[in-house]
Structures are given as C-alpha cells and as structure tokens.
Amino acid sequence: MSNIISAPRPSLLELEEKAKWLTLLLLAVGLHIFEAALPSLGPWFKPGLANIMTLLALVLIGPRAALMLAIWRVIVGSFLIGTLFTPTFVISLAGGIASAAVMLLAWRTIPGITLIGISLIGALAHMSVQFITVESLFIHQHALYYLLPPLLLLSVITGWINGGLAAYIISRIEESD
Amino acid sequence: MRYGYNGPMATLASENDLPQNLWQWFKGSWMDRVILLISLVAIVCSWQWIHSFVSSGPPMVMIYHDDQLLARYPIPEEGKPIHFHAEGEIGDSEILIDANGARFVSSPCSSGYCIAHGQRKEHGDIIACVPNRILIVIEGNSADALDAIVE
C-alpha cells in the first residue's frame, strides 16, 4: 500500500501522450474494422486508412509510439473481427510492422520528404511485405508475384491520398492548439 | 517537421476556396514527386517484364497447392466445363474451369475471399485461397520461362 502511495505520479505530459496514443489506437482499430467490412478490391488490398493514424502518431508523439500503434492496431483489430492468429492476421501484422519501420526510416533519413512521401513508401512496403509473407509462409509459389505490380500501383494512389489526409488532419490539430 | 503543407499559406487561403486548398494538401514536395516517379517507373517496368513472360501462348489454368502443381488445363470450349477438387491444407476446394475462366466454387476457408474473387481468364490472373494454400494461376503456355529465371 505504502509503495502505491509513494510511487511517483506520472507527469501531465506523459499522461497527455498516453491519452493521445490511446485515442489514435482506438481510431486506428475502428478504421481497421471498417476496412475489413469494405468489399474487397482484390486479395490483400485495403485502402490503408488505418495507416493515417500511424502517421499522426509519428508526428504527434514519436517513432516508438507509431511503431507500437501499428502493432497493437493489428492485434486489437484482428481480435475484434475474429481473425487473430489466422493467416490474415500474420499477413496484416507483417505488413503493418514493415510499413511502420520503413516510414520511420524514411522520416528520419530522406531530406525534403513530407507525410505524403512517407505514406507512399509505407504503402509500397506494406503491400510488398504482404506478398513476401504469403509466398514464404503460406503459398510457396513465385507466380503470386504476377499480381504485385497492379496492386503496388493502387498502393501508390492510396498512399498519396492517405498522406495528404494525414497532413490536413495535423494542420487542423495544430490550428486548434 | 515537414508535414506536406504550407502552414501560413493554408491560413491565408479562403475556407471556400476548396480546389486550391485541396491542391495544397495533396501536391507533395519535390522529394515526394521524385519518390512517386521512381515508384511508377519501377512498377510499370516490372509489370511489363512479368507480362511479357506470362502472356506468351494460349492461356492455361495452373492449380497449385503450395509449390506443388496439382493440375494444368487449357481454357475449355463452351459447354465442356471441368470440375477439379484440390485437396489443400484445411480441406477440399472445388474449382470450376469453363469457357469464361476459372473460379473457386467452394472452399473450406472461413473468409470466402477466394470464392468472392469470381472468375478469371486473362494471362497473369491469380486467385488465391491462403488458408487452404491453393492457388489458381492463368499463364501462357511458355510461362515456365519465368520460373526458370526466378529460380
């Protein structure tokens, strides 16, 4: 009991960051579920709206928070739609982690890049890693890659749009602060 | 941090000036456009490269379980459909091949994405059932050249 009382209270800044992260996580999970309910544009293709929240976490909180958000979004979202530990979950998780990692790297290293470029690179990484995961873990068949170029093209479009949306949301948040 | 928008310009722009605002948010920086250009060139080149292998010869329906080729059929004539049962990881997938192409008729997977994917008959088309690890690929007769190169 005395330990609890004497434990240092988290700072207001820490609490604020946790609240922001949880809010973004809930929004990301909501978008993850929404995307799962959308009619499929093709195998493994989703518009990647949930990735907007990863971009927001990257800018508003930091790289570590963005990576954790990408991981927890897939875990919680898959649990809620009933695909936890299925191939769909493994493919989503691999894509989510790769996408977040590549976006962090691009954000840190590429000069002059904006959220649009970061999102575009993330979308391409997400799609490519999904295919690599399917090919290496589930269907060991090179022919799978026939489908990759058209889906990468769609990823370029959605990545660009999602980046623009993320930039817009950030600016509105900053205006309101 | 560069967010892909110009803060002062955004506040100067009128709220009603929607097209201009949209351009502000979605135009990207010069680096974004360089990345876009490189990506598009790489995608189009790889697409062309794959298409040149896959599209040679009449279309054949290849049915795989993992890396094992289970069956290989030409697209049949009208009125002569082929029913094929592919034994996969979690059960039996029924595949119908007719003059309109190939499709999954039934599958033991819970998602049913493979069935929803419908019929495919063009060169390079693919329908996959990941849970059952069954893959339908439409290839040209001489598409084996790609496997030889990749391997």
Place of tokens 């950030």: A170
The per-residue pLDDT for B57 is 80
CB-CB contact of B96 with B118 (8 Å) = no
DSSP symbol at B143: T
Q: Does B37 touch chain A (CB under 8 A)?
A: no
User: B88 and chain A: CB distance < 8 Å anywhere?
Assistant: no
Q: Is the pLDDT of residue A60 over 70?
A: yes
Report the mean per-residue pLDDT for chain B: 81
Distance between CA B108 and CA B93 in Å, rounded? 7
Helix (H, G, I), strand (E, B) or coil at B86: strand
Q: What pLDDT, on the 0 to 100 scale, is given for residue B144?
A: 47
Q: Is the pLDDT of residue A4 over 50?
A: yes
| pLDDT of res. A176 | 80
Q: Which of B3, B44, B65, B89 to mutate to test the interface with A (most CBs of A within 10 A)?
A: B3
Give dist(CA A88, CA B131) in Å, integer.
8
Over residues B78-92, mean pLDDT: 91
Q: Indicate if the pLDDT at residue B43 is higher than 50.
A: yes
pLDDT at residue B123, rounded to an integer: 85
pLDDT score recorded for residue B86: 94
Percent of chain A with pLDDT over 90: 70
Residue B55 DSSP code? T
pLDDT in tens, A11-50: 888 899 999 999 999 999 999 999 988 876 655 678 889 9
B141 vs A: CB within 8 A: no
Q: Output A110 or B16, whichever has higher pLDDT.
A: A110
Find the range with the poorest average confidence among A84-98, A119-133, B40-54, B136-150.
B136-150
B90-124 tens-digit pLDDT: 999 999 999 999 999 999 988 788 888 888 888 88
Q: What is the 3-state secondary structure (H, E, C) of chain A?
A: CHHHHHCCCCCHHHHHHHHHHHHHHHHHHHHHHHHHHCCCCCCCCCCCCCHHHHHHHHHHCCHHHHHHHHHHHHHHHHHHHCCCCCHHHHHHHHHHHHHHHHHHHHHHHCCCCCHHHHHHHHHHHHHHHHHHHHHHHHCCCHHHHHHHHHHHHHHHHHHHHHHHHHHHHHHHHHHHC
Residues of B in contact with A42 (CB under 8 A): 117
Of B7, B29, B110, nearest to A112 by CB-CB distance is B29
**pLDDT at residue A46, rounded to an integer:** 81
Inter-chain residue contact A43 with B39, CB threshold 8 Å: no
Over residues A114-143, the pLDDT tens digits come to: 999 999 999 999 999 999 999 999 888 888
Q: What is the 3-state secondary structure (H, E, C) of A132-146?
A: HHHHHHHCCCHHHHH
Q: Indicate the pLDDT class of residue B148, thresholds 50, 70 and 90.
A: very low
**pLDDT, mean over chain A:** 90
Give Cα B26 to chain centroid, integer Å: 27
Cβ distance B124 to A146 less than 8 Å, yes or no, reads: yes
B98: left (phi over 0), alpha (psi -120 to 50) or beta: beta
Tokens of B37: 């250009």
Mean pLDDT, rounded, for A102-123: 96
B-chain CB neighbours of A115 within 8 Å are: 2-4
What are the φ/ψ torsions at residue B64 (nearest 5 degrees)?
A: -115, 150
Instruction: List, in order, residues 6 or more apart from B17 with CB less than 8 Å away.
Output: none
Percent of chain A with pLDDT over 70: 94
Which of B63, B130, B138 is the best substitution to test chain A (most A C-beta atoms within 10 A)?
A: B130
Cβ–Cβ gap B131/A86 under 8 Å: yes
Residue A83 has pLDDT above 90, yes or no: no
Spatial contact of A23 and A72, defined as CB atoms under 8 Å apart: no
Least confident span in A29-43, A64-78, A96-110, B3-17: B3-17
